[in-house]
Chains A and B, each alone.
Chain A
Amino acid sequence: MERFGEGYLEERKLVKRWSGPIPALVSLVFTLAIFYLTWWIFQDPRGLMRMYTPYVGYMYCRWWLIMMIWMVYIFNYWPFKRKWLETTHPLVKGSILTLISVVILVALIKGFFEGLLGNYGLAYFNPEQLEKLPGVTSFFAIEYASLAILMFAAIASWLSPAWVVAFEEAPWQKLTQPAKGFSILIMTFFLSTVVYFVTMHPHMGILYHPWQYFTSIAPPYWEQFADTVSGNFHISWIMCCTVVVWLVETIWERYPFNLIKNDWGRRFACFFGIIAIAVAMHFFLYFAQELTWGEAIRGTRRAFAPDWRWLHVGEMAIFFLVPALFIAFYCNNWPRKFSMPVNVMIRTILTIVGAIALYILYYKTSHNFLGTQKGFSHPQQFPMIPMIWLVNIWLVHHWFMDNWPGWKMVPKTAEEIEADHTAHQAQIDDIRWTPRFGAGLGAGVAMGVMFYFITLWALPYVYASVNIIPGK
């Protein structure tokens, strides 16, 4: 039987072409160069296509991420054959797969959202329909439509990988492609639609004057809790979900959910665990802003506005994704020599340090070379776009190009695949409940709580000592 790309990522061996950190550094330089070139071509307000308006650029950026998740995680490279994936030069493979992802992307946005939904369902998905409203300029009609489409993308970019990572493709894991891919695609798209209607449609409904009381929930149910009628409250936790699903999949190796032996217990625990962790991040990162900038005041614009603070939670969360993926893609998920919990803890610490450093670097410098606005809270300052754009480049490089030129792809032998499975299982089996583990867990919980309160105490002082925005 013909074998397509299923299992390709797991069964490929990436062999370094040079020793030490050189391949990682080469990859970083190479991908950053591609990032900057493509940023200039597509996104930069001073560049060629100038899609960073910001929502138009963000919409394409966000859906492109999902296209790659669909192609690789859900459809396992179908309809490409395994042999083709193994033997084609990474540059050719990367170009073809990227081109296909872009074709699907454009078809989805222009055909499905703007054409079908916008013309026959919800008018706000189509800029031309929106322009029929008196007083709405072409610019904002396009921005509103892009906002709605990208809000959908934010949800889909959490749920699409979550079905693979948490639900392990169940109940369709034994189906062959493309049946499996279509089943997961339809399920995650359906769930995305439900979440969209509950979290984002009321936001779009109150965008009109008068509020669309009879077609959406207005005022929205979250108003009192979130201190805003804006849907940014939901953007916040959904963005955190998007990030956490990748933390769980990469640097956490699905720990501790992989300790649960019951299949459905593990899957539900992982799916809802991701949401719980994301909600914890969502609340904490909001609180962190209150500690550094002062309490939010409803009705204000910019940095003191609750709606922006929620949005900024999502913006902060995205900074965690970048170092985590770098560790996973280019550092072979270093370290691997300790037990799984200790490895996970070290990688998490590295990710937190990397995220903070990247946050400071971004806000200090990005306006100089990305064409974005200086400062934290301006509507034209959207760190999610360049961060996700960079992640997209890395996904192309890692998934479509096998980390070329720093690494060379060699298919693993059956013995190597078996050895990997055994080693992974051994790492999981290595974690058992013992009195010492229990004592450690208790001590760790106490340390974690203590660390949390130390962080609360230190944050205002640390923030005050770092001048992130030049000329602030």
Chain B
Amino acid sequence: MSDNMKRRDFLKGAATGVGVGLLGAMGLYSYSPLRKQHFTQVERKGADIGMCKSVKVTNISETSWFDNGNLMGDIKGAGGLLVNQYDYNWPPFGNGKGLGKGSYEEGIAQIKHLLPGRLDEAWEIIKANSVHPENAGGYAALVEVEEMSGQKHKFLLDVGWSYKWCEECFKREGIDKMLENKEIEALFFSHEHFDHFWGLPVALKYDPEITIYIPEGFYPEGLQYIKDCGHKGKLITIQPGLNKVMPGMASYVFAIPIICRVYGEQSLYFNVADKGLVSVTGCCHQGIIRFAETAYTEIKYENDKCYGIYGGLHISPFEDWDPKYDDLVITLGDYGFERIGCNHCTGVLCAKKFIAAGYPVVEGTARFRSKDKAYLGNGDVITFG
């Protein structure tokens, strides 16, 4: 055999061998227990956010929309879950052109002159021009934090969607007066979605100077809407990551894509004395487990314990189900939460599965159009600490 032939044979063998060796290693090693030695241990940053005495959350409204069929019908009819939320022709941005043919500019032009003070007149125009105005509700919560000294602070988390519904809920819970009296220090927006954000003029009607915190990722329309609603206070954009607010309270911005062309979500962490970590969310698009795991790696909290959670936990907002949601139901028990208050996008079925699994779900009263006692519904209150 010539040298050339030998070389060629060696190359043929080597080319074949590389594939065999590579695929063999891939198959035998990649999912073996040995792979775990390649993972770095999670480095706990343990950021100190201080401590508070207690947190109380009043549910102003969790019924962001009243009928899943209507909402999903609109979304489907307008082109699906990726359509820009300002294009659906939902209230308040109705331009009279029908589903999926809306635009921020045309919608706001109809009502801008009435914001934020003349909301009844604005709503009459909106009703005439929008798709399913009666289906709009909204998500909003009042968060009261008590310092270790006993001093109390009030914050608003989100402001709902429908001007009409939102105003009714604000009055029912006395939020209008609190805003007028400047008792509420700031408004946190969890994210830019219609049902959390578009009711803004209702809050500004009573306090146009309120400080607003938004997560990074708002679109130009959203930023313009804040101006067009008549906001005169400070607008603070929070970058992804941890943001300390006051002793025992921090917000965390997760840079994640969400349906209807929304990006980024801000949720709240509290370190409650003697109890542990309390998490309050608008929708929790980042997922509860990631929310808890992020706290584990990022911040220091009492007893190293996840104590409570409140809010929309974003599992089956449209009452759909998927086996992967069962992964969450099965796993949540490992995190040891002692008080779970859920509503809005958690899904009633999910809340019932939590209860069936024996988790400490704080049940509600199903008043003011909330549908089920498995939820903490409209007007219900939960306290931590």
B290 touches A304 (CB 8 A): yes
Contacting B at CB under 8 A, from A399-429, are: none
| B7, B259, B285, B320 — most chain A CB neighbours (10 Å) | B320
Known: A46-B83, A140-B72, A373-B82. A449 touches B22 (CB 8 A): yes
Q: Which of A62-70, A176-184, A328-336, A440-448 contacts B (4 or more CB under 8 A)?
A: A440-448
A299 touches B259 (CB 8 A): no
A448 touches B289 (CB 8 A): no
Contacting A at CB under 8 A, from B2-61, are: 6-27, 29-31, 35-36, 38-39, 42
Q: Which of B129-137, B170-178, B227-235, B323-331 contacts A (4 or more CB under 8 A)?
A: B323-331
* A373 to B82 CA separation, bound complex (whole angstroms): 7
Mask, B220-264, CB within 8 Å of A = 1, is 000000000000000000000000000000000001111100010
A302 touches B21 (CB 8 A): no
Question: What's the minimum C-beta distance from B143 to chain A, rounded to whole angstroms?
Answer: 24
Mask, A255-292, CB within 8 Å of B = 1, is 01000000000000000000011011101101100110
B80 touches A307 (CB 8 A): no
B81 touches A380 (CB 8 A): yes
Q: Which residues of the partner chain A approach B258 to less than 8 Å between Cβ atoms?
A: 378
A452 in the interface, Cβ–Cβ < 8 Å?
Answer: yes
Mask, A106-150, CB within 8 Å of B = 1, is 000000000000000000000000000001111110011000000
Q: Which residues of the partner chain A approach B16 to less than 8 Å between Cβ atoms?
A: 256, 341, 440-441, 444
A339 touches B30 (CB 8 A): no
A3 in the interface, Cβ–Cβ < 8 Å?
Answer: no
A436 touches B10 (CB 8 A): yes
B69 touches A283 (CB 8 A): no
Closest to B347 in A: A135
B15 touches A341 (CB 8 A): yes
B82 touches A228 (CB 8 A): no
A392 in the interface, Cβ–Cβ < 8 Å?
Answer: no
Q: Which residues of the partner chain A approach B321 to less than 8 Å between Cβ atoms?
A: 207-209
Known: A304-B290, A452-B26. A380 touches B82 (CB 8 A): yes
A381 in the interface, Cβ–Cβ < 8 Å?
Answer: yes
B8 touches A339 (CB 8 A): yes
* A454 to B13 CA separation, bound complex (whole angstroms): 21
* A206 to B325 CA separation, bound complex (whole angstroms): 10
Q: How many A-B residue pairs have CB under 8 A?
A: 266
Partner of A138, one of B36, B69, B263, B334: B69
Closest to A306 in B: B327
Question: What's the minimum C-beta distance from B335 to chain A, rounded to whole angstroms?
Answer: 8
* A406 to B217 CA separation, bound complex (whole angstroms): 45
| B11, B26, B289, B331 — most chain A CB neighbours (10 Å) | B26
Partner of A230, one of B30, B79, B255, B324: B324
Question: What's the minimum C-beta distance from A177 to chain B, rounded to whole angstroms?
Answer: 35
Mask, B313-342, CB within 8 Å of A = 1, is 010001111111011101110100000000
A471 in the interface, Cβ–Cβ < 8 Å?
Answer: yes
Closest to A370 in B: B82
Question: What's the minimum C-beta distance from A199 to chain B, rounded to whole angstroms?
Answer: 13
B256 touches A444 (CB 8 A): no
Closest to B314 in A: A301
Known: A300-B287, A434-B9. A449 touches B24 (CB 8 A): yes
- Interface range, B side: 35 or more
Partner of B6, one of A431, A436, A453: A436
A52 in the interface, Cβ–Cβ < 8 Å?
Answer: yes
Contacting B at CB under 8 A, from A285-321, are: 286-287, 290-291, 294-295, 297-302, 304-308
* A206 to B12 CA separation, bound complex (whole angstroms): 50
Q: Which residues of the partner chain B approach A307 to less than 8 Å between Cβ atoms?
A: 323-324, 327
Q: Which residues of the partner chain B approach A446 to less than 8 Å between Cβ atoms?
A: 17, 21
Partner of B290, one of A301, A344, A439, A440: A301
Question: What's the minimum C-beta distance from B347 to chain A, rounded to whole angstroms?
Answer: 9
B20 touches A448 (CB 8 A): yes
Contacting B at CB under 8 A, from A76-102, are: none
A31 in the interface, Cβ–Cβ < 8 Å?
Answer: no
Closest to A373 in B: B257
Closest to B319 in A: A135
A381 touches B257 (CB 8 A): yes
B13 touches A228 (CB 8 A): no
Known: A53-B76, A229-B327, A300-B290. A342 touches B9 (CB 8 A): no
B73 touches A139 (CB 8 A): yes
B13 touches A440 (CB 8 A): yes
A354 in the interface, Cβ–Cβ < 8 Å?
Answer: no
B25 touches A453 (CB 8 A): yes
* A203 to B323 CA separation, bound complex (whole angstroms): 7
Interchain Cβ contacts under 8 Å between A and B, 20 examples? A52-B82, A137-B73, A139-B72, A139-B318, A206-B323, A228-B323, A228-B327, A276-B27, A283-B27, A284-B26, A286-B31, A297-B293, A341-B12, A341-B16, A434-B6, A436-B1, A440-B9, A448-B24, A452-B26, A456-B38
Q: A-B pairs with the 4 shortest C-beta distances?
A: A444-B17, A448-B21, A440-B13, A299-B331
Instruction: Give B residues with C-beta under 8 Å from A.
Output: 1, 6-27, 29-31, 35-36, 38-39, 42, 68-69, 72-73, 75-76, 79-83, 217, 255-259, 263, 285-290, 293, 314, 318-324, 326-328, 330-332, 334, 349, 353
Q: Told that A45-B81, A135-B68, A206-B326 touch, could you supply 17 new A-B pairs with CB distance under 8 A? A: A135-B319, A137-B69, A139-B75, A229-B330, A287-B30, A298-B331, A302-B287, A305-B324, A342-B15, A345-B19, A374-B257, A442-B13, A443-B14, A444-B15, A446-B21, A448-B21, A471-B255
